[in-house]
């Protein structure tokens, strides 16, 4: 699991999205990134209290949109 101060597994999820964008959403070529995200997700589900976002660490809707725009699929 990547060390982050924000939401759990955000780094892994970002890596999956970047890989999908690079490889036209081909899961086979992004297997390593997907497995890292799945591993992180299992760890968080096994111990949710250890990964809870602390007060003040929530993103605003604008911050979420900025991050999601980085992965918008351009035609």
pLDDT of 49-69, one tens digit each?
A: 766 655 566 778 888 887 777
Is the backbone of residue 58 left (phi > 0), alpha (psi -120 to 50) or beta? beta
Please give the distance of CA 9 from its chain centroid, rounded to a whole number.
Answer: 5
- pLDDT (tens digit, 9 = 90+) per residue, 18-41? 999 999 999 999 999 999 999 999
The total of other beta-carbon atoms located within 10 Å of residue 26's CB is: 11
Report domain extents, the chain.
8-46
This prediction has a pTM of 0.61
Give CA–CA dist 30/18, Å, rounded: 9
The total of other beta-carbon atoms located within 10 Å of residue 32's CB is: 11
Q: Which of the pair, 14 or 73, is modelled with greater confidence?
A: 14
């Amino acid at each position: 699991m990547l060390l982050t101060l924000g939401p759990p597994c955000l780094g892994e999820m970002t890596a999956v999205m970047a890989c999908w964008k690079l490889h036209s959403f081909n899961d086979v070529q992004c297997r390593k990134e997907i497995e890292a995200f799945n591993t992180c997700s299992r760890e968080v589900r096994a111990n949710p209290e250890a990964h809870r976002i602390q007060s003040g660490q929530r993103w605003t809707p604008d911050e979420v949109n900025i991050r999601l725009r980085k992965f918008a699929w351009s035609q």
